[in-house]
Amino acid sequence: MIQETIPELPSEAYQTPSSRVKALRMMLGLSRKNFEQASGISAATLTAWETNKHPLSAKGAKKLVDAFEKLSINCTTNWLLSGDGLAPRYQQPDTECYALDARILKEVFYFEQSNPSPIVSIVSDNSMEPFYELGDYVGGCQLLPDKAELLIGKDCIVTLETGQVVIRRVQQGKEERLNLYSLNYETQAENAFISDCKIQRIAQVIWHRRTDVVTL
């Protein structure tokens, strides 16, 4: 194993506790739900910290330090809370993979800075293969649920009423609701097809990054 410092990003990327938490999670290539499964910290709590809905506390920072350590990132509570002190160090078995992760994180950052109401998600199942593969990054601009009919027939990032985020193609459902369906008919993914569902938010996929085709 080698150790590398977290790659240099535009200064805005690490200016606040919320941005530092999100940047480290993105370095791991984990969605909030996957981070919950790996760390035990709920996706709702993580969302509150990353959006600054609830400012990160010292107790919360300690939980994150322990969680990141298990996932091969070493950082301190002081750095998470203030940005001061020892910079995080990231363990990677392969330097090429590390450079790849750093480049994708920069692209995510610029997408979020350049678009209104951005949503970035990581494909967490094989339901949209071969177009979107497990681990791919996708991004879009959020629309309110009452504007969802504008996205009929489009591939979208959808937050369900339960809070789960899925990548699906959108069809018109009954009574102004939506049908969501996958493109991989052999998938065993949960919620591969959802009929007449309610949603929290939706965004058409307008940015897609496959990790296996990024040129270093």
Instruction: Give percent of the chain with pLDDT exceeding 90.
Output: 23
Query: How much is the pLDDT for 212?
Result: 61
Query: Considering the domain 2-114, what is its CATH architecture?
Result: Orthogonal Bundle (1.10)
Task: Give backbone dihedrals phi and psi of 88, rounded to 5 degrees, phi first.
Answer: -60, 150
Binned at pLDDT 50, 70 and 90, residue 12 comes out as low
Closest CA to 142 of 102, 195, 202, 188: 202
Which of 45-49, 152-156, 161-165 has the weakest average pLDDT?
Answer: 161-165
Q: What is the dihedral of CA 116, 117, 123, 124, to 10 degrees?
A: 170
pLDDT of residue 103: 73
pLDDT (mean) for 197-205: 88
Does residue 203 come out as left (phi exceeding 0), alpha (psi in the -120 to 50 range) or beta?
Answer: beta
- Residue scoring higher pLDDT (175 or 201): 201
Q: Check: CB of residue 18 under 8 Å from CB of residue 50.
A: yes
Task: Band the pLDDT of 137: cuts 50, 70, 90.
Answer: confident
CATH topology of domain 118-213: Umud Fragment, subunit A (2.10.109)
Q: Does residue 175 come out as left (phi exceeding 0), alpha (psi in the -120 to 50 range) or beta?
A: left
Q: Does pTM surpass 0.85?
A: no
Q: Which sequence spans correspond to the domains of the chain?
A: 2-114, 118-213
